[in-house]
A and B are shown apart, each in its own frame.
Chain A
Amino acid sequence: MTLGNLHSPYQWLAALVASALLVAACSGDDDTGVVDGAASSTTADADGTTGGEGTDAGDGSEEGSGAEEGASDPSAEPDPEAVEPGATVRLLTHDSFSVSDGLFDNFTLESGIEVEVVSAGDAGELVARAVLSVDDPEGDVLYGIDNTFLQRGLDAGLFVPYTSPGLDAVPDELELDPEHRVTPIDYGDVCVNYWTEEVGRVPTSLDDLTDPALAGSFVTEDPETSSPGFAFLLATIARFGEDGWEGYWQQLRDGGITVTPGWTEAYYGEFIAGGGDKALVTSYGSSPVAEILFAAEPLDEPPTGVLTDGCFRQIEFAGILAGSEQTDAASALIDFMLSETFQADVPLNMFVSPANEDVPLPELFADHAAVVDQPLMLDPAEIEANRNEWTERWAEIVLR
């Protein structure tokens, strides 16, 4: 941001702040005459100081040259072999990111590249941050954008293409971007979970949930404020189509479905797991694994089960950020994220399945994560184009 691109909104805001301050200062009941001038000059000082900083920030020479490099050679993809030793690559991700202690040491030993993890907020917040700072990104690789947000990231020009050799081991249906601007790293399914002891009739299909006995005991999340809530709405749209999904939700509503703003309020507020009285909840196909791994007392079987029909598949991607000056090192990190070392670590740390199908699953995960034969998906472009309309129509039916 340089002084050169001052334009009307900036001036508008500065004027607004200045005038508000002036109003505040002028409202004083004593020595008014002197006060006005002094107050406005104080404001001007503050703006002047900050304007100076802006110049520093904006004409940082690294930033400019980085952009030029990218522009001068647009056809060549980043090359993991071309990394200078001692490079540091910054991985920008969401708060759910987690790996085993020292996992990246393997990568550093092999490649000489250090990894720095920067996390901020949930997946939606991560994408918004990246879009807002697209010219001057916080990191070199972004990991954690999923198929429900993918189009938004692609439209904003967040990523540069890179075709990792590791993609050979990744099933084609996970590769949603033919230009390889993003690389699939893992996937998980959003599925309805039930508390086995209390559910009564175990549902076997989405249609079963409309039974008032089940709908009345079912808590899901508002698709506008919750990622699994949105994914479940997408599942119903994918299953019942444009003409059918609203009727399905009408039946859930008539049956007495409960809606919470987020996953935590659903799972720990309303669902039996947290002391509530609802026996069904929108969660993940891998949730029973966490119920075992993080049980209060050792368990052989999880207390919850998964309805494997009507699950929406979320695929998480990594991509090299367009403003990165470390694209070669970034590409090496993407290769590492598809390697067996990283992929085998993913299931029990983030409760998602590895994209690399050659990697064996940990026993606990293989035994207790739901196997979803026919996951539901929608085209990312269609999701982005209809997101607001769908959530508004959903609210009309369910919250009205």
Chain B
Amino acid sequence: MSRAGLAARAAQATVPAAFLAVLVVWPLVAVMDRSLTDVGPGDIVEILGRGSVRRVLWFTLWQAALSATLTLALGLPIAHVLARYRFPGRAALRALVIVPFVLPTVVVAAAIGAAFDRLGLRVERSLWAVLAAHVFFNLAVVVRVVGGHWARLDRRQVEVAATLGASPAQAWFTITLRQLVPVLAGSFLLVFLFCFTSFGVIRILGGLRRATIETEIYRYAITRQEFDVAAVLAALQIVVVLVLAGATARFQRRHATVQRRGTAPVPVVGVARRLHVAAVVTLVLAVLGLPVAVLIEQSLRVGSGYGLANYRALTERVDLLPLSAVQALGNSLLFAAVAGVVASAVGVTAALVIARGGAAGRALETLSLLPLGVSAVTLGFGYLVGLTVFDLRRSMWLIPAAHAVIGLPFVLASLVPALRSIDPRAREAAATLGASPPVVRRTVDWPLTRRALATGAGFAAAVSIGEFGATSFLGRGEESFTAPLAAVRLLASPGAALRGQALALSVVIGGVVAVLAAAIEFRRDPGVTVL
């Protein structure tokens, strides 16, 4: 390779490496250093050897694995129908899927639980409630990330198999599933990590004192203020995430498949297909639509009747909040835009490095998943003690930067498999015809991956809009209050109007995200047959 080419590659690796070094590695090292000052290796062994720690680790792992499995099981048929078939209401359904992902946990769990009660659906705090909530919140990840790739799959192989006499099931298992394996593994890991570090759901729905590594880190750091124990648990969490991320990345590389153009979704013809689609639509409406409908109904309640008062009140500042709810939502949208752009920019450079393979790519791929699996307390405290230079820790831009860090894995989960699936022969052909590397990227890679990038960037933005844990752990000026913080704060005071406004604000957050998601769908380029 030419010297210029090598320099370009080095520059590509520098962007994500610097980003992760400043916003992930250094803060984590700083907080560990601070918390483990008087801790020797013997103490660490003692803490890790405690029976309670082993039990908590085991529970954390299996609840996350089970949650992710259920999410995948329920998400796959939905992803399939939404990716492969064209039917009325498909766009609305796709937009609905994203809504729970951005709803504040506290609002959903505390405020609409009572309404479910009245419908006769008593939500007892239990492991089942935790699993159900994890599926509800994370279904979007599977449907969107897997669905995006499903739509892009090369159908011709399946058609060839059919002409050779394979049954649809055989063709599905031997071809489609194999083609989907890398992206299935990737989205499984994303959901797993979300559930691995889930805090609100475990605390509110898990039953009292139901403990995961995440809630234990909080308990030791905040309630008991035993920073050393918290730090050992945080280190344990980091090791688990790195091992899982590394293993998943290896698995994805091994199963990467090359594909060409995808095929457009087909209309629903025939009774069997109609029933199939109708069943899946019903499933989506039951699992996602019902809670959202209850949330909307509750947000419209004013006193004994219904009205829009809760929505109208969002434009005025309530004494409890530093800003009006609408201003807070404006902040959230600004932060989401910045986080989406930053995550995409870093994600593109990182994805190019990762897709090329090699050690740098592998390290980057593993490291980029860390923020998703690290507790909000650890990261927040890491920023507190690590980012003191230039007073970075208090900058309002640290909020979208932290969101971009959490959103980056989504960009990569969508983009890397897309880049890997590009047929190298297309690139070679372009190069043979005299195209320079930048031209190859623009004319070959870009058209094939921009939908994947849009999916990832959209997700990074959605992560930002819904993010609560890390945001609440960053020191903020009054001007950088976000919408989820406002919703949670409104629900922390008595007053029927405040509860109504918290619900209305949550509906608006979900609604804005759904509209944005739908808008991206409608803007799709007719020349490109992906998604």
Using a CB–CB cutoff of 8 Å, the interface residues on chain A facing chain B are 1, 7-10, 12-14, 16-17, 20-21, 23-25, 27-31, 34-39, 42-43, 45-47, 49-50, 53-54, 56-57, 60, 92, 95-96, 98, 100-101, 116-121, 124-125, 127-129, 131-133, 136, 138, 152, 222, 224-225, 259-265, 267-270, 273-277, 283, 287-288, 290-291, 293-297, 304, 348-349, 351, 387-388, 395, 399
Are B385 and A133 closer than 8 Å at their CB atoms?
Answer: yes
Q: How many B residues touch the partner, as a band?
A: 35 or more
List 12 interface pairs A-B (beta carbons < 8 Å), by A numbering.
A12-B36, A13-B29, A17-B29, A17-B238, A30-B357, A35-B362, A50-B25, A53-B26, A101-B317, A118-B475, A138-B384, A269-B114
Q: Known contacts A269-B110, A274-B111; can you find 4 more A-B pairs with CB under 8 A?
A: A43-B363, A98-B319, A118-B394, A222-B208
Residues of B within 8 A of A121 (CB): 472-473
- Quick one: given A273-B496, A294-B495, A351-B493, are A23 and B250 in contact (CB under 8 Å)? no
> Of A24, A273, A296, A399, which is within 8 A of B303 by CB?
A296
Instruction: List, in ascending order, chain A residues with CB within 8 A of B40's CB.
Output: 8
A14 contacts which chain B residues (CB < 8 A)? 29
Given contacts A24-B242, A291-B495, contact A297 B473 (CB under 8 A): no
A395 contacts across to B, CB distance below 8 A:
208-209
* B163 at the binding interface (Cβ < 8 Å): no
CB distance from A136 to the nearest CB of B (A): 5
- Residue of A at shortest CB range from B363? A42
Report whether B319 and A348 are in contact in the complex, using a CB–CB cutoff of 8 Å: yes
Say which residue of A10, A24, A25, A30 sits within 8 Å of B29 (CB atoms): A10
- Chain A residues, Cβ within 8 Å of B37: 7, 9
Determine if A47 and B25 form an interchain contact, defined as CB atoms under 8 angstroms apart.
yes
- The smallest C-beta distance from A115 to any residue of chain B, in angstroms, reads 10
Q: How far is the CA of A25 from the CA of B366 in the complex (A)?
A: 8
Which residues in chain B, 221-253, are within 8 Å of chain A measured between CB atoms? 221-225, 227, 235, 238-239, 242-243, 245-247, 249-250, 253
Given A27-B250, A38-B358, A129-B384, also A21-B366 (CB < 8 A): yes
Q: Given that A46-B20, A138-B394, A295-B495 are known contacts, is A119 also in contact with B476, CB under 8 Å in the complex? A: yes
Partner of B389, one of A53, A118, A294: A53
Task: Find out whether the CB atom of B362 lies under 8 angstroms from the CB atom of A296.
Answer: no
Cβ of A294 and Cβ of B472 under 8 Å apart? no
Residue of A9, A100, A119, A262 with most chain B CB atoms under a 10 A cut-off: A9
For B227, give the chain A residue with the smallest CB separation.
A132
Of chain A, the residue at the smallest CB distance from B37 is A9
CB contact between A98 and one of B21, B114, B320, B363 (< 8 Å): that residue: B320
Task: Evaluate contact between B22 and A117: CB separation under 8 angstroms.
Answer: no
- Smallest Cβ-Cβ distance to B365: which chain A residue: A24
| B225 and A131 contact, CB distance less than 8 A | yes
CB-based nearest B residue for A20: B242
Interface residue? B33 (CB, 8 A):
yes
Q: How far is the CA of A98 from the CA of B474 in the complex (A)?
A: 18
B386 contacts chain A at the CB level, 8 A cutoff = yes
Please give, as numbers and ranges, the residues of chain A lying within 8 Å of B22 by CB-CB distance.
Answer: 50, 53
Interface of A is mostly: helix
B204 at the interface (CB under 8 A from A): yes
Residue from B18, B219, B242, B384 in contact with A224 in the complex, judged by beta carbons closer than 8 Å: B219
Assembled-state Cα–Cα distance A94/B34 (Å): 23
Contact A9 B33 (CB under 8 A): yes
Q: What chain B residues lie within 8 Å of A222 (beta carbons)? A: 208-209
CA distance A42 to B20 in the complex (A): 12
- Name the residue of chain B whose CB is nearest to the CB of A121: B472
A36 CA to B357 CA, complexed, in Å: 13
Compute how far the CA of A14 lies from the CA of B29 in the bound complex, rounded to whole angstroms. Answer: 7
Contact with A along B474-498 (1 / 0, CB 8 A): 1111100000010011011111111
- Answer yes or no: B88 CB below 8 A from chain A CBs: no
Tally the A-B contacts, defined by beta carbons under 8 Å.
Answer: 275
Q: Is B472 in contact with A1, judged by CB distance below 8 angstroms?
A: no
Residues from chain B with Cβ under 8 Å of A38 in the complex: 358-360
A274 vs B301: C-alpha distance when bound (angstroms): 12
Distance in angstroms between the alpha carbons of A103 and B73 in the assembled complex: 55
* Closest A residue to B367 using CB positions: A21
Q: Is the CB of B478 within 8 A of A117?
A: yes
A24 touches B33 (CB 8 A): no
A363 to chain B, nearest CB (A): 16
Chain B neighbourhood of A288, CB < 8 A: 494
- A290 adjacent to B493 (CB under 8 Å): yes
Is A124 within 8 A of B223, CB to CB? yes
**Bound complex: CA of A124 vs CA of B472, how far in Å?**
13
Per-residue A-contact encoding for B107-119, CB less than 8 Å = 1, 0 else: 0011101110110
Tell me the bound Cα distance from A260 to B359 in angstroms.
48
Tell me, in angstroms, the Cα distance from A273 to B224 when the chains sit together.
32
Give min CB distance, A44 to chain B, whole Å.
11
| Contact B477–A24 (Cβ < 8 Å) | no
CA distance A138 to B394 in the complex (A): 8
**With A119-B478, A129-B475 in contact, do A24 and B223 touch (Cβ < 8 Å)?**
no
Judge whether B393 is part of the interface by a CB distance below 8 angstroms: yes
Residues of B within 8 A of A60 (CB): 388-389
User: Is B321's beta carbon under 8 Å from chain A?
Assistant: yes
For the complex, is B203 an interface residue (Cβ under 8 Å from A)?
A: yes
Query: Which of B17, B203, B500 is close to A261, meaning CB atoms less than 8 Å apart?
Result: B203
Known: A98-B320, A138-B475, A296-B500. A23 touches B246 (CB 8 A): yes
Interchain CA distance A259-B203 in the complex, whole Å = 12
- Give the distance to chain A from B354, nearest Cβ to Cβ, in Å: 12
B499 within 8 Å of A (CB atoms) = yes
Q: With A38-B358, A60-B388 in contact, is A98–B322 under 8 Å at CB? A: yes
Question: Closest chain B residue to A48 by CB distance?
Answer: B21
Report the 10 A-B pairs with minimum CB-CB distance, sorted nearest first: A294-B495, A24-B246, A9-B36, A275-B114, A50-B26, A38-B359, A39-B359, A20-B242, A296-B496, A297-B303
Measured between beta carbons, the chain B residues less than 8 angstroms from A225 are 203, 223
Docked complex Cα distance between A25 and B208 (Å): 40
Say yes or no for B39: interface residue by CB 8 A criterion: yes
Chain B residue with minimal CB distance to A27?
A: B250
List B contacts of A13 (CB < 8 A).
29, 32-33, 36, 235
Chain A neighbourhood of B208, CB < 8 A: 222, 259-261, 395, 399
Whether A24 pairs with B106 at a CB distance below 8 angstroms is no
Q: Smallest CB–CB gap between A51 and chain B, Å? A: 8
**Considering the chains assembled together, what is the distance between the CA atoms of A181 and B475 in angstroms?**
23
Beyond A39-B359, A263-B492, whether A268 also contacts B114 by CB under 8 A is: yes
